[in-house]
Amino acid sequence: MSRAQFINRESSWLDFNNRVLEEAQDAQNPLLERLKFIAITSNNLDEFFMVRMGSLHFLQGSGRTQRDPSGLSPAEQLRGASEKAKELVKNQYSCFHEEIKPAMNEAGILRITPESANQEQRRQLQTLFENELAPTLTPAAVNEDGPVPSYPNLALQLLVRLKDVTKDKKRQQRLAILPIIGDIDRFISLRVKEGYGYMAVEDVIAMHIQHYFPSDDVLEVVPFRITRNADMAVSEDEALDLVTQMDAVLSERKVSDCVRIELLDNATLVAERSLRKIFSVSEREIYRVTGPLNFGDYFSIAGLPGYDHLRQEEWPPCPAEKMDLSKSIFDQITTSPRLFHHPYDSFDPVVKMIEQAAEDPQVIAIKQILYRTSKNSPIVTALMRAAEKGKSVTVIVELKARFDEARNIEWARSMEQAGVQVIYGVKGFKTHAKLLIIVRREPGGIRRYLHLGTGNYNEGTAKLYTDISYLTCDPDLGIDASMFFNTITGFSQPQTFRRLAAAPLTLRDTLLQMIDGEIERAKQGQKAHIRAKFNSLADTVMIKELYRASKAGVKIELLVRGVCCLHPGIRGLSENIRVVSIVDRFLEHSRIFWFRHGGNPRVFIASADWMTRNLDKRVELMTPVDEPALREELEHILETGLKDNVKARELKSDGFYHRIRPQENEKPLRSQEILYKESQARSNRSNRSRRTTFEPHRPRKRNSKK
């Protein structure tokens, strides 16, 4: 198969981040929402450079020449990704300076510079610097020819060039680096006549830089930021103590190779050359920007109080339809399974389910997989409380969840101290499945209650990411879930599941069988149709199978938020495949797979994307949802997304994403807005249908006298 039929993964990811940037460029979005999308693109790029570019740097440095499915070598991928990333950054800053910043000024949100600060503001800044910044921050001399400094990844720093000196008839350049670290706000609020004024902390320090060098001539102060390679992992064959090994990896990241340096474009070439030499990078790794550095810090400005008119209307999660959190979750699940679509539907039922399990005397065991969770997790707190009450609690904590390793280590240690049995994932794999099993002793015997989902047990991101939660006590799924959990936690051999599919065991084969079934029906002249929604599509085997299905006449509709290496619309190969990406206020994160199956559709939810790492190198789960009403809900989610003509882009045969717009006489349909309003309506109907119970006040009983 020709390599040209695959889109390069790095290029596809940068295309996704460009779609995020388009939301910042869209003047129809409220101003502070546009600023928020600028911040998101910045954070996305940080992770891209740490992981993907870091990996390509390693491959190139090791001399590897193996080409990816699109036909590019590591060196070619690195060069192409760097060029595309620089173009994206250029557009990012153009959007900020030409559109967003002027609109912020007009709205009274003003960035004060050292040149524009008035006398009163200067006095305020002088006091702040002397009392808070000067005692905290420390510059350190640095030698271009010395060892690479262990300055922090992604932290804002200042390169200070001092007047050269002559020593032993040789001219010596003097440099210092001042990292801005610790609990320091990036933006300093300043008093202005009207509106909100702020100054970037690097400007405040630059104004007072002579404080650190009272006897020297300061030639230049250059704000910069380095990005280090974070694509490193534990050597599990040698990891007798995984926690200790993971701590070592976290330490190694702090001094890993530099893969990007961002600095302001007014920096001199002398300063740039010094930074390149200090951190051992080439000119390609230098990213000059018009400032400010790190738009990710602008989340704080986007959330300023008092500017709600510059933001979108709040969409708070709706209380779950027909789920009374004041009553037993278990009794309600026994009556009928429940499906929730977050964040339209509240995540509270999932949290409440675990909290009730901790207190319920009938619950004898809780088993859960934690991949990522929140800083102050009520779920982890409930698990520890359950263990302290004597329940059997076993938790799989994935220590290899990138960028959450430190938090997961902390939670794991806390749970162990509370009596929770903690398993640190599976050797050789990341445990990415989303599963909760609650075992309850009831009059009729043991019953298992399950939560199976597509997202993490994080009540914070559950308000920002679209995900599916499925609550059930189906006996077959319960048996499968227990076998799956025991396979992970012990040495038991994988068993044949009744209904679940798990990676790396059966998930890939199950998907291939489902696709093959549609191909056979198409060959027999029957209607054949596949719909799928996931974050990424990069696995070449799955892509080839979809191409084969397209050539057989199967209609294929894909909702792919991010990376898509499949090339749709190619005659004779993929003309029956449509790829749509939606970028809106919520991050599309749910995984739903639908197969027409001869008119009796099969629908699944999963923790896995269609990527090689998910299907072969991670522990994942795929769950069938067979209840007709719940299946229809999932079908509706897919249909609504595919009809979006406001926030959707379609990947065409030219390899570019094109914004979908309403056709003539066609109403605008924004899928996330539709789904939220439908959730609101369901919640309101449910509240109205609940019978009101009146409880009369009764007189207090009096003691009778004889």
Catalytic residues: 432
Peptide bond into 292 cis (omega under 30): yes
**Cα separation values, 609 from 188, 454, 616, Å:** 42, 10, 11
How far is CA 574 from each of CA 509, 656, 664, rounded to the nearest angstrom? 22, 15, 28
Buried b (16+ CB within 10 A) or exposed e, 124-138: bbeebbeebbeeebe
Beta-carbon contacts of 376 under 8 Å, excluding residues fewer than 6 positions away, are: none
Pairing mode, if any, of strands 592-595 and 602-606? antiparallel
* Tokens representing residue 649 in the block: 């882009």
| Residue 128, both tokens | 């702040």
d(CA 114, CA 623): 58
**Gap between the Cα atoms of 455 and 478, Å rounded:** 19
User: Which phi and psi angles does 459 have, rounded to 5°?
Assistant: -65, -20
- Three-class DSSP labels, 26-66: CCCCCHHHHHHHHHHHHHHHHHHHHHHHHHHHHHHHCCCCC
Task: State which H helix or E strand residue 14 sits in.
Answer: helix 9-25
- Whole-angstrom Cα distance, residue 198 to residue 644? 39
Is residue 498 within 8 A of residue 476, CB to CB? The reply is yes
**Residues in a beta bridge with 166:** 171
Plot region of 558 (φ>0 → left; ψ -120 to 50 → alpha; else → beta): beta
Nearest to residue 154, comparing CAs of 241, 260, 68? 260
Distance CA 372, CA 411 (A): 11
- Tokens representing 15 are 């295309």
Residue with the two structure tokens 């002398």? 270
Instruction: State CA 105 to chain mean position distance.
Output: 31
Task: Give the separation between CA 322 and CA 691, rounded to whole angstroms.
Answer: 12
Q: Which of 265, 281, 256, 187 is nearest to 224 (CA)?
A: 265
Report the candidate in 362, 357, 361 with the shortest Cα–Cα distance to residue 395: 357
Cβ–Cβ < 8 Å for 163, 216: yes
Contact present, 196 and 189 (Cβ < 8 Å): yes
Residue 56, both tokens:
């390509």
